[in-house]
A and B are shown apart, each in its own frame.
Chain A
């Protein structure tokens, strides 16, 4: 495949000496403009195999929309999403999984939620039983297997949602603020599940507002502002010395408005 990437996550300067991981997916000029409003605007982004990409940005920056575009839940107005060298299609979507900010629990038992996700992918019999057992154990939901999923606590529901996504053995896992509004113990449980998934080679793309979480879980960071990708790079570098005004302002807890801010108004360039 010809190398057409415009911006790589590793970004030239901070690339480690070793060769970059192979490209898993790419956004090429992806825009989403309902009624002409550019909510996501010309995003070029590379996602490399086995990396953990953190998507950050203020509310309304287009993070969730970008994730839905990458996952194929909505179609871009222009540009394209490329999965392993080919346009994203239904088969490609099945190699991905997504956990939403508010977990969607079927009105069934915990175990039936897991079984459903596997059944729709044509996984049955002994293989399904094995994966369900494994998912219950990983998410520490074994004791709750027969309980209705919707009476679980928020943290338990999110663990189930994550376990359900992982049971489908995706290559890439999208996480849209999976620990928003969870207590520290539940957050830790989710982070451990994410780390385990990453250790198994699953590529992670996660939205978070939590700088600490970005530092703990991120290899790379993509920073969005007003629908545009304003900065990408290794997590440590972007968090310590952001080069874009928007990322700097956000990380310092300042409000950042396009029209008013220019480099000279920022205190530390």
Chain B
């Protein structure tokens, strides 16, 4: 086995040269994960805001459920989505198994509870501050949810990025429903898993470096945003 420094050097070479396979894998990773996060936000933000801003019977149970679903094991989600999409499953006729769409579905299921549960907490905290003023102004239910979501926008951006972080680094679900098919469903994490076991450490490590870089960039962006939000007391 080559020593680590040589492997790392070759890996960085792949990145710097813009290796076509590497670019394709990164692009698919980002497409799948960003799509899943956008869909998860479209569902999770309003859902979390509704649970956070209103009192209704069963609210405590919904909160517990959302919090519990945050810890969904990816392989279980992958298995369930696989069963749904497989030829014998209820959604089999859609023929989505082993497509990027299947991966987006699996990651959406993983990320939506995270977005919803964190949003619920953020909105509930903000609402406890605003509730009396809103009642006094006569703010209707729709305006209330919209105003809370808007005023919590910086915190909610962090929520979305937490979802992104979870999805982009996840391997268990996407490898089951995507199948890690070259040029079709191969993303960064599944490639790392496969290439490592095949001994192709350069590509695996190059993707690892890119994943780490994405994590660093995302976190730096979050911190910069929050700092500017704090300066204007919007956070």
Contacts and interface: CB of A to CB of B under 8 A. Distances in A.
Given A97-B136, A98-B136, A148 B129 contact: no
A148 B151 CA distance: 12
B64 interface: no
Nearest to B133: A104
Contacts of A121: 137-138
Contact of A120 (B140, B151, B233): B140
A73 B136 contact: yes
A96 B151 CA distance: 25
B4 interface: no
Contacts of B152: 107
Interface in A17-53: none
A71 B136 CA distance: 8
A234 B233 CA distance: 43
A50 B61 CA distance: 49
Contact of A151 (B129, B132, B232): B232
Contacts of A96: 136
Contact of A94 (B132, B138, B234, B235): B138
A120 B137 contact: yes
Contacts of B233: 107, 148-151
B233 to A, nearest CB: 3
A197 interface: no
Contacts of A106: 130, 147, 151
Given A148-B233, A151-B232, A100 B138 contact: no
Nearest to B136: A98
B190 to A, nearest CB: 41
A119 B147 CA distance: 11
B139 interface: yes
A73 B135 CA distance: 7
The A contact surface, by secondary structure, is mixed
Interface residues of B, number: 19
Contacts of B19: none
A104 to B, nearest CB: 4
Interface in A97-155: 97-98, 100, 104, 106-108, 116-117, 119-121, 148-151
* Most chain A CB inside 10 Å of its own CB: which residue of B130, B133, B140, B233: B133
Contacts of B130: 104, 106
A101 to B, nearest CB: 11
A166 interface: no
A204 interface: no
Interface in B101-153: 129-130, 132-133, 135-140, 143, 147, 150-152
Given A116-B147, A120-B143, A93 B234 contact: no
Interface residues on A, range: 20 to 34
Contacts of A119: 143
A107 B234 contact: yes
Given A148-B234, A150-B234, A168 B137 contact: yes
B206 to A, nearest CB: 42
Interface in B39-65: none
Nearest to A147: B232
Contacts of A73: 132, 135-136
Contact of B139 (A72, A100, A120): A120
B54 to A, nearest CB: 16
A90 interface: yes
A206 B148 CA distance: 29
Contacts of A150: 232-234
Contacts of B136: 71, 73, 93, 96-98, 100
A100 B133 contact: yes
Given A107-B234, A151-B232, A90 B129 contact: no
Interface of A: 68, 71-73, 90, 93-94, 96-98, 100, 104, 106-108, 116-117, 119-121, 148-151, 168
22 contacts: A72-B135, A73-B136, A90-B138, A93-B135, A94-B138, A96-B136, A97-B136, A100-B133, A104-B129, A104-B130, A104-B133, A106-B147, A107-B235, A120-B137, A120-B140, A121-B138, A148-B232, A148-B234, A149-B233, A150-B232, A151-B233, A168-B137
Given A93-B135, A106-B130, A148-B233, 14 more contacts: A73-B136, A90-B138, A94-B138, A96-B136, A97-B136, A100-B133, A100-B136, A104-B132, A107-B233, A107-B234, A108-B234, A119-B143, A148-B234, A151-B232
